[in-house]
Amino acid sequence: MKEFKGKTALITGAAYGFGKEFVKQAAKRGMKIVAVDIMGEELAKLEAIAKENGAEDITLITADVGIYEETEKVVKTALEKYGTIDILMNNAGVAVPGNGYNLPLRDWEWIVQTNFMSHVYFMRQVIPIMLKQGTHCNIMNTCSVAGVINWIGMVPYYATKHAAVALSESINYELQAIGADIAMGVFCPGYVQTNLDHSEWYRPERFKDDSDPYYQSEEFKKGQAKDMQSRCGRRSRRIVSMCCHMRNTMDSLSCRQLRSFRERARI
């Protein structure tokens, strides 16, 4: 996409980290923005930031993107307010450190719903809207370098990011097959100091159970205390320079570029 002014961007995980930066970049391009996050108080700070950076307008929605009905509310609000969705940025994500075979199932379910199913939920609703609009549109899914390599310590995170990459590639092939004017990209950064290692701040009530012995275990406590960077592995840090050299933070890897990147990452 080359013309951004007046277009509508729907951005999830918008309150912190990359999501917050995506909001700033969309604002600088004069876009209308739908910013979504589960952290309502932090999300509220984005209105002033977006306006300062030149956004045409911004709508803030507090929602849990791991719940389909809440994603429906987001999409409905975006259409009622702006009439179109031109860019979808699936950016929300969480991580829980610990051995994959020990993590409680509620942690697996939380991570799968947030990191993967939210992509499914939004694309299932937004792609038909984009097709009906008949204009050039973009979808960018934040997949992380964890979507193209594996390491120890955050198995559900790596698994869901790989799934998100596969989903993006497969949907892209389907869109190509029907000649859709929708560009699909994946954003695969290496380790960056975001708020990912504070995912416990975002844990919904339905995934909390302080009585579970795991959350009192040394494994869980040590995992919370460790910096996530140590969990990305040396291999990840070696290939960060290969990962998504962005001209600006609105760029992402196309699925074709991803295939090349994946082969280089495995060397």
Q: How confident is the model at residue 235 (pLDDT cuts 50, 70, 90)?
A: very low
Write down the pLDDT at residue 246. 33
pLDDT by residue (tens digit) across 158-196? 999 999 999 999 999 999 999 999 999 998 876 656 656
- Amino acid at the residue 59: T
Judged by average pLDDT, the poorest of 41-55, 82-96, 174-188, 235-249 is: 235-249
User: Which residues are catalytic, by number?
Assistant: 157
Summary mean pLDDT of the chain = 84
Phi, psi of 138 (to 5 degrees): -130, 145
- Amino acid at the residue 262: R
CA 83/CA 85 separation, integer angstroms:
7
Write down the pLDDT at residue 24. 95
pLDDT by residue (tens digit) across 131-153? 999 999 999 999 988 788 888 88
pTM of the prediction? 0.84
Task: Show the domains of the chain with their CATH numbers.
Answer: 8-265 (3.40.50.720)
Q: Which of 160-164, 196-200, 203-207 is modeled with the greatest confidence? A: 160-164
CA 243/CA 225 separation, integer angstroms:
27
Calculate Rg over the CA atoms of the chain.
Answer: 18
Q: What is the mean pLDDT of residues 204-214?
A: 89
